[in-house]
Structure 1
Amino acid sequence: MSTPARIAVLVSGSGTNLQALLDAVAAQDDFGGEVVLVASDRPGATGLDRARAAGIATESRALDDHPDRQSWETALADAVAAHRPDVVVLAGFMRLLTTTFLSRWPDRVVNVHPSLLPAFRGAHAVDDALAYGVTVTGCTVHLVDELVDHGPIIAQEAVRVAPDDDVDSLHARIQAVEHRLLPACVGALCRDELVVDGRHVRTPSARPG
């Protein structure tokens, strides 16, 4: 049996997607990876408590504790790198990362976003979808680049908007899909089942030629 890929998860809040990932790893013998670190930009993030309860190492690096953004990002990258991850998962991590961080794990940093990208990028995707009046939205798991919610898409799934939806009810249904889709994509990445071809992410069997 091959050695499981080492996964670092970055959170800023409650960590429900982190919990879904932990549950999937525990439930699937062939998941292909294990979470070795949970890190946050907020020392009080509930997601860190979830990690401690599961016996997983934690790190926190607050932006306000550093003289500028680049020094903060370098400190975060150093803290994560010390745990030797093969895959980095952004699970409700609310900071934009640049080459300072991303260059250490090219095509191995994954994010989940509550819309069908490229629609409704940014921090208010669910509010924006409701304000626009769409009848279908959803969630996207994608590789991370330097732009906001922009990297190559791994998977998407649609969620219908009900006439009486508000932000909380719609977000709850989107999160239910996220909790299934994100672990599936992370597992595929851990098992080296994905091939990045420009903006396209495919399984090896689907690779052109």
Structure 2
Amino acid sequence: MKLAIFASGNGSNFQAIAEAVAIGAIEAQLTLLFCDKKDAYVIKRARSMSIPVISFSPNDFESKAMYEAEILHLLEEEQIDLIVLAGYMRIIGPTLLEVFSKRMINIHPSLLPDFPGLHGIKDAFYANVPETGVTIHYVDDGVDTGPIIAQEKVVIDMLDTLDSLEKKIHNVEHKLFPTVLAKLIKNQQGEGRS
């Protein structure tokens, strides 16, 4: 199975997945990183692991549809089976969704459906809820509304700061995402053989 990871920022989830692939914990080939920001740190992480990088911005195109059509062309050229969104900070449009329906997975730093969108950790922290967590889900045409694959709770302690909560969430993400991907891929490969 060939994976493409989409990321926009630091890339710590990309790193966790790439390391799991490298040691065989995820039975797949990490074919490429797609990044929409040419100066994102995730690109350095990918290059240091000799993973091919493709990077261009929607601003380079006349429309979102044209931007996604170019991404789709590259994915089809590489025969990508699964897209993994690991901190990709753009809403996926119909051009990619139609082709990769049920083959695109996202991670979100809250217990969806609570606190969807860009600031899941901050929104949960300032809502004074007793717990939040991490959700891994399929991508659909909504914002963080796709079918949930897995969730793990994170308790918000009285002494937590926004920074300490972010660290706790990221620690869970870095374990949960590779584990869930490994199971998902193993199940899909098992179905392919039967």
TM-score range, shorter chain: over 0.9
Structure 2 CA distance, aligned partners of 1:120 and 1:140? 11
2:2 matches 1:27? no
The alignment's TM-score, normalised by the length of structure 2, stands at 0.93
1:118 — aligned with what?
Answer: 113
1:175 — aligned with what?
Answer: 170
- Contact 1:98–1:145 (Cα < 8 Å) also in 2: no
Tell me the matched-pair count: 191
Amino acid in the other structure paired with 1:91 = A
Shift of residue 52 of structure 1? 1.2
Amino acid in the other structure paired with 1:137 = T
> Stretches of 4+ moved more than 6 A in 1?
none
Structure 2 stretches lacking a partner, 5+ long: none
Deviations 1:142-180 (A, max 9, x none): 010110001011100000001122222101100111111
Structure 1 CA distance, aligned partners of 2:112 and 2:141? 15
1:37 — aligned with what?
Answer: 32
The alignment's TM-score, normalised by the length of structure 1, stands at 0.86
1:198 — aligned with what?
Answer: none
2:150 matches 1:155? yes
- Which of 3, 26, 30 aligns to 1:7? It is 3
- Which of 100, 112, 119 aligns to 1:105? It is 100
- Contact 1:13–1:46 (Cα < 8 Å) also in 2: yes
Structure 2 CA distance, aligned partners of 1:77 and 1:16? 25
Amino acid in the other structure paired with 1:179 = H
CA RMSD in angstroms comes to: 1.7
2:128 matches 1:133? yes
Amino acid in the other structure paired with 1:105 = F
Larger helix percent: 2
Percent sequence identity is 37
**SS of structure 2 residue aligned to 1:47:** helix
